[in-house]
Structures are given as C-alpha cells and as structure tokens.
A and B are shown apart, each in its own frame.
Chain A
Amino acid sequence: MKPFAFERARNVDHALSLAAAAPGARFLAGGTNLLDLMKLEIEQPETLIDVGRLPLADISETAGGGLRIGALATNTVVASDPRVRSRYPVLARAILSGASVQLRNKASMGGNLMQRTRCAYFMDPAKPCNKRLPGSGCSAMGGLSQATALFGASEFCVAVSASDMSVALAVLDAEVETVRADGSVRRRPVETLHRLPGDAPQVDTDLAPDELILAVELPPPPSGGQVWRKVRARASYIGALASIAVAGDRVALGAVAARPWRARAAEAALAEGAAPREAAEAELVSASGEDGRKTLVRRLATDAIQESRKGSRS
C-alpha cells in the first residue's frame, strides 16, 4: 500500500471542502472495496477522506410514499429493515446475496454503488487494463475471463459492474442524491450513475471529484411480484455470472454491463404482450459476446419474469 494522507470529515461541508482541496482524493466509508484495491496498489489515492462518521445513515419514509436511505446505512441495516423487506424484497435479497455478513456489516449504501469491477485483469496490476491504466489496452478481450459485458461494452473495456444491490435499485427506479462543494444538490437515477466505458473506461461514474452521495431514494414499489436471482458457481462469496431483478413489469440485469442494465427492450416487449422468453430474446438482440452467456441470460430472464407473474416475492 502506498503512503497516503488521511482526513476525517467533521461534517458534509468539511468533507466536500477537503475533496475540493485535494484532487485525486477518495471518500472512504466502509472501505471493503477501496482498501483492498489500495493494498493491491490498484487504487493509489494520495488522500483518503473518511466520511464514515457523518450522520448519513438514517432510513426514513418520504412524502411520496417511498423510502429514503442514507448513504452510510450499512448493507446489513438496509437488508434487515422491515420496510425494505416488506416493500422492496428484491433489494433486501440482492444485498444479502452480495457479500458475506462481515462485509455487509461494514459496507455502506453509497460505497456499494462506488465499488469497482472485479474483472480479473483489472485486479492484476501486471496486466494491461484501460480502466486501471488508460491507454494500456484491454487484456480481458481475448482473455480467459468469462465475466465480460454483453451490453454497452466498448473497444476499450468489457468489464462488468460487481454490484448486486445496484441491479435491484435500478429495477426499483431508485435515485441517487448527491451534493458538491459548491452546495449544488443533484438527483439522478441509479441506472445512469455508472457510465458505459466508451473511450474512457477509467471513469466509472458521472460523479464529479468533489461530489458526495447523500442518499438513495426509492419511489413506492411498483405493483406486481418482485424476484431476485443471482447465478454463480458457488453458493456465496462470489460475484454473479449473471443476475436479474424483476419488479412488476420492470426488468434489470446484473453482471452483464458496466452499469446495472435496465432491460428496456424486454420491458417494451412485455408491455406489448410478449411472452417472457420473447421479451428476453428481444433484449438479447443488442447483446454481444459469448453465446453461452447469452443463453444463460435468456433462460434466467425467462424464468424470473415467469416467476414474478406468479405473484411470487422470492
């Protein structure tokens, strides 16, 4: 781990002014991903701004009948909150499948959204990786890793998002509320918080360097069943080969793109009365990549949509 400066933010304004004053600084919350990456020298921030003690952990009802979850609410707290469990079971289940209990106890709402890809070549500093070292190339292309993007990849990067939670948030039309050093507060859908790689895969999100996540807001849940599925070689402690969140007539896919992937084509097909399998196939029209992965997504999406229509909330 490279030496770095450590600052503890006293309040949100302090955190933002520290960030504005220290280019290249990173906010530190639970640290479950950032500290690992620093030990591997994949992340080498000169300054860490500890926001972990800021009062941003509340979960509260919104006027519109939704739920506002503070950026520092731990994954454990969110997944066990009775309101989340009863109204947004897809979110609770996604979080529970996302990490071991030790990690969930530390990991925060905002930090989970900010976690970086687990692409094996991104994780190996000895290999070319445009996300880690812009311009060095992409060794995942033509490589051995199966976990590459089906949607939204570019010629520079095929990495996928590692966050399960964000897939559920995307299907729930959740919004991220942020604040910048100049005091401006902004909201954007979780779905578009993360950038597609384009020609700058090193930039994961559209957050400005001095922009801090304050909360995630969930609108009231859509009517209909909610389903969460995560496919993986072992039962725990590993990222998805593919995942899916279904809520009512909405569908989001995970581990298939650099962002949680709202399956708009599938949703449109369903709205026009298509069968689940036809909807899944409609989404896959725009997919690139290995046939086996497409097959998995087709079968998974077909089955999960069917299950949601049985009114099941598993």
Chain B
Amino acid sequence: MSTVRDWAAPNPITENRSGLIGKPVDRYEGRLKVTGTAPYAFEVETPSAPLYGHIVSATIARGRIAGIDLSQAASAPGVVLVWSHLNVPVQAQRGAKLNPRSQRGSNPALGSDRVEHYGQSVAFILADTPENARAAEARIRITYEASDADLDFGSFIDSAGPVPGEEDARIGDFEAGYSASAVTVDATWFSPLQNHAQMEPCATTAWWEGDKVVVHTSIQMVKGGQHALAETLGIPSDRVRLLTRYIGGGFGGKGQSYDDLTLAALAARESGRPVRVAYTRRQMFQATVHRPAVQMRVRLGADGTGRLNAMALEAVTHCARNSTFVEHAAEFARNLYAAPHRLTGHRLVRLDIPHAGAMRAPGEAPGMLSLECAMDELADRLGMDPIALRIRNEPEVDPDNAKPFSIRQLVRCMQEGAQQFGWDRRNPTPGAVRDGRWYVGMGMATAIRGNFLLPAKAGLRLTGDGLATLTQGMTDIGTGTYTILAQITGETLGLPLDQVRVELGDSDMPPAPGSGGQFGAATAGSAAFETGMVMRRRLAELATSDPRSPLYGEDPLLMDFANGNIVLGNRSESLATLASRAGPEGVYVEGSISPAADARDWSQHTYGAQFAEVGVDSVTGEVRLRRMFGVFAAGRILNAKLAKSQITGGMIWGVGAALTESNAVDPRYGSFLHQDLGGYLAPVHADIVNLDAVLLDEADDKANPMGIKGVGELGICGSGAAIANAVYNACGVRLRDYPLTPDKVLAALEAKGL
C-alpha cells in the first residue's frame, strides 16, 4: 500500500508539459449532447422492436392493497402483460444478497401487498407503445386498506430519536463554555424537503441475450446497479451487463437503482422482447429519493473579541420508516471553526413518506444554511465584520481531531473574494442601501466540503492507429468525466487529445465507484493516471527490448513521452508503431488507485468563500439575486471551464435552496405538493444574471498523485447562507425558514413596520 509520500514525486500530470491539465477544453461528448444524438438509456438501439412498460403508483401513504383487478387493463389495446404483487415473477427478498460481496442487495418491485409510501409501485403494464401502456392504467381497479401514516415532520420533531450507531460529538464542555460566553447566538433554522429534479428521468432499456441480461439504465454507480439487479433476479452478477453511457443529471438521486431497472429486466425476460421503462416526471418526484427537511439549532458563544468559546449545531431530520439514511447536516461544523467547547449531533424522525437519500453535498448543503448565518448574526452582535470574525476563529489544526490540514486556504478565499467582489462597499447597517423600491444588501459565507479517494481501476489500450482508448466502469453524470479522463490520459502518455478516446459506463469494464460525494474526478482520474503510468512502463519495456526499435537496449526508466512518441534524447519512435508491432490488438494494460495508508493522518477538505448581493422588493418581498461571486480552493484543476461550470452550477443550486426550492408533504394524502418542474422551483436563467467564480492555484499533495480534489459539491456549500445574510443586510430581516419566498419576506417586513 502506498503512502502520500509516494505521491509527492513529480509526474507527468504535475509537470504538465503539454499543458492539457487545466486547459479549458470543450466537453468530449458535448457535440453529441447539444445535437441530441447522445443516446440516453431510454433511446439506445435495441436488437429488435421494443415494448414499453408503465409503472402504476400507489395513491395512499400507508396500508395494503386489499384488491386489485388487472383484467380490464390486460385486455386493453396493445397491452402485452400486466403485473401486480399477485403475479409478478419471483424476485429475491428486499435487501437479500446471494453474493456477500455485492455492493447492493435485492431491490424487488411489486414485492408485496404492503404500501409504504405514496407513489410506491403497485402495478406494471407492458404494451406495444408508451401511450397504450399509460392509457391502460385507467382500467386497473385497486382498493386499498389505508393505515395511519406519520407524514408531518414538524409534528414529530420533538419526539425525534437518536441515530442508531451514532453519538453526539462532544469536545470540552459545551454547556459550561456557552454559559460562560460574553456574547451568544441561539437560533433555529429550517431547511425544507428538496427534490433532485433531474432533467432525465430514471429509465431503462433491457433485453436478454441467452441467460444474460443487458440493461442500459440511468444510474450513477455501475456496480451498484449491476449487483442490485443480479441479486433481485437471483443470478450471478456476471450475467448482468449494465451500461450507463450518458446520464441527464444524477445529483445523488441516481446513486441507486429503481423499479424501472427491475421491471424492465423482468418484462424483457417474460416477453422475450427488448423493453423500455421510464419514470414519469411525477414519479421522479414521488418515487425516487429526496433530500429530507432538517431543523438545525445553532448556539455560538464568544468573548468580546469574537473568539468562539463554544459552538453547537444540533440537527433533526427524517427518513423513511425502514431506512437508515441520515442527512448529516451538523458534521461539517466539526472541521470549520476553532472553539474549545463543541457539540454536534443528529436526531432522526421516521416518516411514512418516500425514502430520503443523498442529494448534492448531503450534510453541508442544508447544514451551512444554519451555521454560516449564525456566524453572521454573531458578527452583527459583536459589531464585527463577518470575515474578520471568521479569520479570528480560523483553526491551526482540525478542531475535531487535531490533525494537520493537508492544505487549507480558506482565509485566502475570503480575502481574495472580498477584494474582487468589492466587500468594502458593503454598508454594515441593515436597510441602509436603496435602489428605487429595492433594498440592496451584501452577504458572505464560507464553504467547506470533504475530499475523498476511493479504490478504482481503469483499462487502457493503445492501438496501431496511434489511438489510446481508456475504458472504465465509471459514469459521467453531466459533470465532464469523459473530458477530464481524456486530458489525464493524453497528458500522461504525451498524446494530443484527438488521439485519446474514453469509454465509460459499462459493467464489463474495470470498475470505478461512479459519481457521488465529489469523489469522482479524483478517484476515476487517479486510476486513469496510474493506468497511463502502467502503459508508459509497458511501452518503455517494449521499445527497449525490441531490436527493431531505435531505443533498443536503453534503460526503460529514462524514456520520455511527447507528441505521440516515446523519446530518449534525439531518438524516438511513435507509439503507433510500437502498438502495431505488439500485435493486432495493440497494447492493453490495467491500473488502479487505492487510498494511501496514511491518508487519514491529514484533515483534507475543499474550501471557498461565497459573496452575494441581493435586492429585496420593499413592496412585495421578492428577493432577486443581483450578483454573486465565489473564490474556491480545490486542489489542482483539471479543466478550468468544466471546474468552473461545476462550481457555478453548485452556487446556483444554493440560490435555489435559499430562495425557491421546497417541497411539502400533503398530510391528507402523503404526496408531495409539487410533482413537476412548473411547481418545484429551481432557479431559471432570469434568476442568475451575474454570477462568477474563481479557483485558486492549488495542489494538494496529500490527496492523490495528481494533487486534485473534487469540485462537484463545493459550490453549493455556503451559497444559500451568503444570500440569506445579504437579505438581512438589505432589509434587516432575519429569516431562518428556507426558502426565503416573498410571502415569508413580506410577513417579516410587515412585522417590522416596513
């Protein structure tokens, strides 16, 4: 096992001689996507004409199916088969694992007569067209026996219980420290239930080739989906080939498979035809996971100079009755600011609603909406600048575990951000700046998000035409994975980008953990880099051991790679020639990356500072973002354009969290109020008029051999808090119930007599 010391030596990526690393190249698959020709899972070519499945969803929150009549639907035009729990083919019990090494257990559909949440699948229709499949739904008669359901988070918050297997993190004596503090803040924030609202719904196309099933599906984790389906069907995983080449948004919501995958595979087996199944927009809201609502109480105690003495963040959240998911909204606070007395922890309420699950920056996204506003309140109370307050509490070592930081440029992010944003023009007195009928204000917040490296592999083939093809069971969920892997491979082998191909999203390829937790680029990228290095060594050996090569007899360790050639001094040979000589298949190698043995000896995060200027309509309470700017530190940047897109996309996600995004459970039905993109309000272009971000020059040599870190979730962190703080600065109203919609702002303005 390697140690981080092994990563410190210069390598082709850190030397970046051909300049591919960091270059803002266009997306590898961009042309396919903007011309509508990238085949998504529902659109892939099938070996013969496909059938179409439609899933029927439960319309009660909890209970059982007392009766279900499928006969009318079965005889509807074009219908091939109709299933309920009574006649669906046998599947393994939920969670079962035939193979103990499977990454996911069985995920059966229509498994029983029990209804555990509104929107759960209760029947399935297979027909010749999607229209006929959906039209037949009206002919299914279902009678339910409803049971009492716990639906309203708010009414169970006080009875929230501890999280199994988790204890509060306590350092020092919070209560004593807090009560001894000269200046305190004690306030509670609420972040509502949110939906991923991906553009591409969950969808699968499936067909069988003998006893092996081929599934194209929209999922973030190739192995997870492959294993879940194999376990559900009770077959070895090598009889499931899962492909997921293009994904129209995941955001954590596609970290698992859903019933479209299970039912498509079953129906293809039963019908002997390829089958396509997609969730409806409504089912995307109602039958996939969501980010749970979180209530967060923050208590801060400081001395008169702003030095924190005590800090607590206690979060209450919810998950489905039979689930263990926790939105860890308090965790980030352990690593952010110094304070001798600390308390963080989580409590959980179990509800009869769909499953809570991971959504972009789980934990930090709602969590920072509380602490970063509490810091603003503390600064206000102390009469201090919010940046000065944060710098005063900048820790020397990680305040949670006393580990040294791998690198921490949070202060620099704040200072450079302040300068570029024009923070010195902020009037600290709330409500002091007007522009016509608009109150105008500025706010800031910090960002912190962990960085991770997981084990991964990759394959690399060099062929006689001089092309290098990287293959990896990795996903690109719209983040740019194809592109950065091409850049890494090109730079490592000294090949121009047009000689590099990348093939992803196939369970037959060397496995990578997929996209999530902003670990994708560092993990898959490091595996690609290591595989490129394996290829360099193999090519050097091939050249130096072959009398036909001009490099014959030289020391393979001295070889260099540039411009498509292997080079030593003024002698060189093209990689194409080397590959041709190796045989018709060229040269194929595999490589892998694993976390360093001592990786956890350092505290390792990505950081940033967010700045926002908002207008608040003094008449209506509408909040509009006027401009937003952030400075971030996230290791070496592989592609300046894609990294910035990830960061600014994250910031915009935070704009939604602060101002518009929210869903509510209707306590009469157990369903969500909003089940489409017209009602669930993510920001649109008109909301984002002037938003920009800068990434600092950085390399984290404790992160991985390339010194890169994830950027996929960092931009969200603190973004919404900066906006809420700007709202306060604009009009003097502290709102702690997100999102800050006009009705809430207006009520607060009225209450203040404004």
Contacts and interface: CB of A to CB of B under 8 A. Distances in A.
Interface stretch (A61-69, A86-94, A232-240): A232-240
B746 interface: yes
Contacts of A123: 675-676, 678-679
B620 A143 contact: no
Interface in A121-155: 123-124, 126-127, 139, 142-146
A235 B746 contact: no
A120 B674 contact: yes
B685 interface: yes
B679 A296 contact: no
Given A2-B135, A142-B668, A296-B742, A231 B620 contact: yes
Size bin of chain B's contact surface: 35 or more
A120 B437 CA distance: 31
B671 interface: yes
A104 B301 CA distance: 55
Contacts of A124: 282, 671, 675
Interface string A229-264: 101111111100100000000000000000000000
B59 A126 contact: yes
A53 interface: no
Nearest to A237: B684
Nearest to A145: B673
A279 to B, nearest CB: 15
A182 interface: no
Contacts of A233: 622, 659-660, 681, 739, 741-742
Residue among A118, A233, A299 with max Cβ neighbours from chain B (10 Å): A233
B666 to A, nearest CB: 6
Contacts of A300: 619-620
Contacts of A235: 624, 684, 686-687
A1 B668 contact: no
A231 B622 contact: yes
Given A232-B622, A234-B687, A300-B619, A126 B671 contact: yes
A234 B684 contact: yes
B619 A299 contact: yes
Contact of B686 (A41, A229, A237): A237
Contacts of B135: 1-3, 41
Contacts of A273: none
B620 A236 contact: no
A146 B743 contact: yes
Contact of A295 (B660, B684, B746): B746
Interface string B613-656: 00001011110100000000000000000000000000000000
Contacts of A232: 622, 742
A292 interface: yes
A303 interface: yes
Contacts of B679: 118, 120, 123
B478 interface: no
Contacts of B602: none
Contacts of B674: 120
Contacts of B146: none
Given A123-B676, A126-B59, A234-B687, A143 B750 contact: no
Contacts of B669: 126-127, 139
A234 B437 CA distance: 18
Contact of A234 (B619, B660, B746, B747): B660
Interface in B590-626: 617, 619-622, 624
A122 to B, nearest CB: 11
B439 to A, nearest CB: 14
B742 A236 contact: no
B131 interface: yes
Contacts of A292: 743, 746-747
B680 to A, nearest CB: 10
Contacts of B138: 41
Interface string A1-23: 11100000000000000000000
A118 B622 contact: no
Given A3-B135, A118-B678, A120-B674, A231 B742 contact: yes
A238 B675 contact: no
Interface in A190-235: 229, 231-235
Nearest to A143: B666
Given A1-B134, A236-B684, A295-B750, A144 B743 contact: no
B671 A234 contact: no
A229 B678 CA distance: 20
Contacts of B395: none
B620 A299 contact: yes
A303 B437 contact: yes
B673 A296 contact: no
Contacts of A295: 746-747, 750
B664 interface: yes
Contacts of A241: 742-743
A41 B130 CA distance: 14
A258 B620 CA distance: 22
B683 A234 contact: yes
Contacts of B739: 233
Contacts of B437: 303
Contacts of B687: 234-236
Nearest to B666: A144
Residue among A144, A235, A296 with max Cβ neighbours from chain B (10 Å): A235
Contacts of B617: 231
A237 B246 CA distance: 27
A202 B732 CA distance: 45
Contacts of A1: 131, 134-135
Nearest to B750: A295
A144 B664 contact: yes
A96 to B, nearest CB: 11
A163 to B, nearest CB: 15
Nearest to B743: A292
A120 B673 contact: yes
Residue among B619, B684, B747 with max Cβ neighbours from chain A (10 Å): B619
Contact of A296 (B131, B668, B678, B743): B743
Contacts of A231: 617, 620, 622, 742
A139 B668 contact: yes
Nearest to B669: A127
A238 B682 CA distance: 11
Contacts of A41: 134-135, 138
A143 B664 CA distance: 11
A311 B578 CA distance: 80
B6 to A, nearest CB: 50
B281 to A, nearest CB: 9
Contacts of A299: 619-620, 746
A118 B677 CA distance: 12
A146 B679 CA distance: 12
Nearest to A238: B681
Contacts of A3: 131, 135
Contacts of A142: 668
A231 B617 CA distance: 10
Given A124-B675, A144-B673, A295-B747, 6 more contacts: A41-B135, A126-B671, A231-B742, A241-B743, A292-B746, A296-B743
Report the 5 A-B pairs with minimum CB-CB distance, sorted nearest first: A236-B686, A235-B686, A303-B619, A144-B673, A231-B620
23 contacts: A1-B135, A2-B131, A2-B135, A41-B138, A120-B675, A123-B678, A126-B669, A127-B671, A139-B666, A143-B666, A231-B742, A233-B659, A233-B660, A233-B741, A234-B681, A234-B686, A236-B684, A292-B743, A293-B743, A299-B619, A299-B746, A302-B619, A303-B619
Interface of A: 1-3, 41, 118, 120, 123-124, 126-127, 139, 142-146, 229, 231-238, 241, 292-293, 295-296, 299-300, 302-303
